[in-house]
Structure 1
Amino acid sequence: MRAIAGIAGLLLTLLAASGALAQNKVPSERALEALVKSTLLTWNDANVTGNYAVFHAKLSKPFRDQFPPDRLKQIFRKFADQDIDIDVVAALKPVYEPAPAIDKDGKLLVNGYFPTEPMRVIFALEFIPSDGEWKLIGLNVKTDKPS
């Protein structure tokens, strides 16, 4: 039986100007792992505590403008209601499938999973360059049994 604990997706259309600001390379392995883990752990803390202010502050401006903290709380309610806590990802190395890449619009696309048990934490993250760093523009996280 396939068990999906929750799906939360927010994919936004980039502003046309963001392509001009795009960085042209994927961060180093260490920097990429830190980016993925800090993003997911900040999101997880928001779900566990119900306080989305810090998560909101770390988002890209287009994401922040479209989704205030109260709206984020509503969107990710399934995770909070089911007491899903993915903090174990801090101790594991992510598996990227496919390899992280920069798309034609300059977005950094990072998809993969953490080999958690009994359910995998599966993620699809999109970042845009903002203030000299990669900031989240899209997030999709779910837990599911390994296939």
Structure 2
Amino acid sequence: MKTLLKVLAVLASLGILGLLLALFLTSGLTDTADKFFTAIRSKQYQVAYGLLSEDFRSSTSYEEFIAFLNKNALLGYKEASWTNRSSSGSKGELDGTVTTETGGTIPVKLSMVKENNSWRIYSIQKVRSGILADDATEGSSGALDHVALVRGSMRDFAEAVMAKDFTEFHRKISQLWQRQITPEEFNRIFKGFIDANLDLLFLDNYVPVFEKSPEIDEHGVLSIKGYYPTKPSRVMFDFGYIREGKAWRLVKTNINIKPVD
């Protein structure tokens, strides 16, 4: 017993005891992360999907999850290294890098929550690569939550169809577009949606998938094109936004519904 106390005293004096304690308390985080990425490397994607939190899975379909892994080169996972780890109660975080089979390095951050006494991944954040816009500039494309922008526009559209009246939708679009089109013209353009009594508010339960990264053209128009992964028909969208003041406002709306092949 005395020997153990002496060892602990030496470790404490060297600052190692605190480090060992921190590693012990966060070992569950790294265990879950290792299981997650090992499953991906073994192509056991359903197992990896099962290690996501309930909230993560409710907002992201399996198909969207696979698309995210593919888009961010995580399907080529080889190994991971965690440089920072922390936990407090039922929440935890891991910061580190993922090395791919081709030798690439991807900075990632995992946020986790405890569900039924087990750590589950609540979110996966990857630092974007390439030339980035200044995120500190309010209203810049880099600072935008493009998913939230699309969801808001689609919700406004769905509410207009349900109300059979595009007056409120017209009020929210850009002033430039307001001068070019009236609420009555919107009603005529989307008459097919109105006559079909479509309820598109259920799309709030889905995460839109982008066909390519949103980009701003030489005219300052932010283009976001993609679809909602619904079945048996897929809701396609093509939105255009311009910046007015500190907000991005619609200047183009194209929505179609097509059967899934």
Runs of 4+ in 1 over 2 A off after TM superposition: 23-28
Post-superposition offset of 1:26:
3.9
Q: Distance in 2 between matches of 1:51 and 1:26?
A: 33
TM, length-normalised to structure 1: 0.78
Query: In structure 1, which of residues 25, 32, 43 is the aligned counterpart of residue 141 of structure 2?
Result: 25
The one of the two structures with greater contact order (alpha-carbon pairs below 8 A, sep at least 6) is 1
Residue 46 in structure 1 maps to residue 160 in structure 2 = yes
Corresponding residue of 2:70: none
Where do 1:134-145 residues align within 5 Å? Answer: 134-145=248-259
Secondary structure at the aligned position of 1:66 is classed as coil
Matches within 5 A, 1:32-111: 32-111=146-225
TM-score by length of 2: 0.45
Identity over aligned pairs, percent? 28
Q: Residue by residue, what CA displacement relative to the aligned partner does 1:61-99 show, whole Å, maximum 9, x if unpaired?
A: 121111111111111101111222221211111110011
**Whose radius of gyration is greater, 1 or 2?**
2
**Does 2:227 align with 1:130?**
no
1:7-31 superposed Cα distances (whole Å, 9 cap, x missing partner): xxxxxxxxxxxxxxxx653444xx2
SS in 2 for 1:125: strand
For this pair of structures, how many residues does the alignment match?
123
Q: Distance in 2 between matches of 1:85 and 1:139?
A: 18
Q: Indicate conservation of the 8 Å contact 1:43/1:55, yes or no.
A: yes
Structure 1 contact 121–144 (Cα < 8 Å) conserved? yes
The gaps in structure 1 that reach 5 residues or longer are: 1-22
**Alignment deviations for residues 115-143 of structure 1 (CA, whole Å, 9 cap, x no partner):** 01111110000000012110000010001
- Mapped partners of 1:131, 1:146: distance in 2: 39
Structure 2 residue ranges without an equivalent (≥5): 1-138
What SS does the aligned partner of 2:179 have? helix
Deviates more, 1:86-95 or 1:120-129: 86-95
From the two aligned structures, give the one with the greater helix fraction. 2
